[in-house]
A and B are shown apart, each in its own frame.
Chain A
Amino acid sequence: MTSIARFLAVAALACSLHAQTTLIRNATVMTVSNGTLEGASVLIRDGKIAAWGKTSQRRRMRP
């Protein structure tokens, strides 16, 4: 597990009571400020963009 993935997993557990977490998976993401990335995902947590980057081949983290 990468450190970012581990951080996200811990963060997800920490705020799972209130968090609303959504992953928009495998899109062509046009960021406007940092170009366009194909096969990219955006993670939304608590109304904010928590992370974005290449879509992982694994569909889900282990709980």
Chain B
Amino acid sequence: MGKDVTAPPDATVIDATGKFLTPGVIDCHSHIAADSINEGSVPVSSMVSMEDVLDPEDISIYRALAGGVTTANILHGSANPIGGKCVVLKLRWGKTAEQMLFEGAKPGIKFALGENPKRKGKAIHPLTRQGVNDVIRDAFLRAKAYQAEWRTYESEKTRGKRAIPPRRDLELEPLVEILENKRLVHAHCYRADEILALIRLADEIGFKIRTLQHVLEGYKVAPEIAAHGAGASTFSDWWAYKVEANDAIPYNAALMTRAGVLVSINSDSAEEIRHLPQEAAKTMKWGGLSRDEALALVTLNPAKQLMIDDRVGSIEKGKDADLALWDGDPLSMYSKTLMTFVDGKIFFDRAQDEQRRIEVAQKKAALSEKEETKP
């Protein structure tokens, strides 16, 4: 914190008396701006990327901004044990898909355990939870062999030998990146047993799980999650929407936090993304997190999970000016977002939005009148 802050002569001044300012909200699990989600034709779809199918005109981007969101992790779906590559976006509404990419964000990939990847079983492997485990293990064994082929080639080349490069394998390349700590694993999961199985498998193969997504039974195995160093990105209180979600409890985020896990609350929904601070506030009621701890669940913690906390996630000198201005306490369900800034520019302005609604209504009325008076 600096000394008293005064406006420089050239500054635009926004009077925020009585208002609240927070870092922009960050969603670690979203599918907005994605044209399609699941490449479900193969058990391992690591060759596909969400970056290829971004729709910058998805209205959900604007609605998310209207809820104070400035950054979202756009994930592939959960049809495959190893899914597609993910992409982190800054919600620069009105720009092209390329201009929305979070510059320098470490690339990620989706994994999925449990009911979703095994439900396709009759058509493609796997049919069971053990089958899911096998698909992941086998893919990494193939990735290790592929990595070794490239290492041999590189070393022969360095020694001046005439070597032939291996054919690029677009399925295994991202897995090698995981092994070399160049790509973050975001693993969809629910049950404690499958969480432990994935941690064991990751330790056996030698890779790190960056975040466990949903992780509704995380509270049962929180010390094991903390020991692996995985983060947890969960819902506030979604429950029983499928069999594997039956043991969910609203204390999950708080219990995992107290066990030393880096926790975030995500939306996985174009609706829920509009009120993430309220979702985070539920952890104050269920689990007794402090205000700062609750707000961190949708700001600083997801920034850390996505390894972009040097740029966003808190209000600190030198960080990107990704901010949300609220008409009241952002942890209250009665508060509304007034303005959302990305890189210091206003991308949502409630006053302007309300003015435009009047203009649109007037134009619509004028058009209707014209239509009615047509001869």
Q: Give the size range of A's interface with the partner.
A: 35 or more
Annotate B296-338 by CB proximity to A: 1 below 8 A, 0 otherwise.
Answer: 1001100000000000011111111101010000100000000
The one of B4, B295, B317, B343 in contact with A30, judged by C-beta atoms closer than 8 angstroms, is: B295
Q: A30-B295, A35-B292, A42-B323 are in contact. Are A49 and B8 (CB under 8 A)?
A: no
Does B321 lie within 8 Å of A8, measured CB to CB?
no
Q: Which of B1-29 contact A (CB under 8 A)?
A: 1-17, 19-23
| Interface residue B160 (Cβ < 8 Å from any Cβ of A) | no
Does B300 lie within 8 Å of A33, measured CB to CB?
yes
The one of A8, A23, A33, A47 in contact with B14, judged by C-beta atoms closer than 8 angstroms, is: A23
The 9 closest A-B pairs by CB, nearest first: A12-B8, A27-B16, A47-B343, A33-B314, A56-B6, A56-B4, A63-B9, A31-B315, A47-B344
Query: Which of B14, B314, B319 lies at the interface centre, i.e. has the most chain A CB atoms within 10 A of its CB?
Result: B14
Contacts of A36 in B (CB 8 A): 291-292
A-B contact list, 20 entries, CB within 8 Å: A5-B4, A8-B8, A20-B12, A24-B14, A25-B13, A28-B20, A30-B291, A32-B300, A33-B314, A34-B316, A36-B291, A40-B5, A40-B21, A43-B5, A45-B344, A49-B317, A52-B315, A53-B3, A56-B4, A61-B8
* Count of inter-chain pairs, beta carbons less than 8 A: 176
Query: Chain A binding site: helix, strand, loop or mixed by DSSP?
Result: strand
Contacts of B325 in A (CB 8 A): 24, 27
Does B320 lie within 8 Å of A47, measured CB to CB?
yes
The one of A27, A47, A57 in contact with B21, judged by C-beta atoms closer than 8 angstroms, is: A27
Looking at the assembled complex, report how far the CB atom of B51 sits from the nearest CB atom of chain A, in whole angstroms.
23
Contacts of A9 in B (CB 8 A): 8-9
Contacts of A33 in B (CB 8 A): 300, 313-316
Does A32 lie within 8 Å of B314, measured CB to CB?
yes
| Interface residue B93 (Cβ < 8 Å from any Cβ of A) | no
A34 and chain B: residue at smallest CB distance = B1
Does B13 lie within 8 Å of A23, measured CB to CB?
yes
| Interface residue B345 (Cβ < 8 Å from any Cβ of A) | yes
| Interface residue B341 (Cβ < 8 Å from any Cβ of A) | yes
Besides A12-B11, A26-B17, A40-B5, 8 more A-B contacts (Cβ < 8 Å) are A9-B9, A11-B8, A12-B10, A20-B12, A23-B5, A24-B14, A44-B323, A53-B3
Contacts of A54 in B (CB 8 A): 3-5
Q: A27-B21, A37-B1, A49-B316 are in contact. Are A59 and B344 (CB under 8 A)?
A: no
Contacts of A50 in B (CB 8 A): 317
B316 and chain A: residue at smallest CB distance = A33
Looking at the assembled complex, report how far the CB atom of A53 sits from the nearest CB atom of chain B, in whole angstroms.
4
Annotate A5-25 by CB proximity to B: 1 below 8 A, 0 otherwise.
Answer: 100110110001001111111
Contacts of A20 in B (CB 8 A): 12, 344-345
Contacts of B295 in A (CB 8 A): 30, 32
Does A28 lie within 8 Å of B21, measured CB to CB?
yes
Query: Which of B13, B20, B313 lies at the interface centre, i.e. has the most chain A CB atoms within 10 A of its CB?
Result: B13
Does A60 lie within 8 Å of B20, measured CB to CB?
no
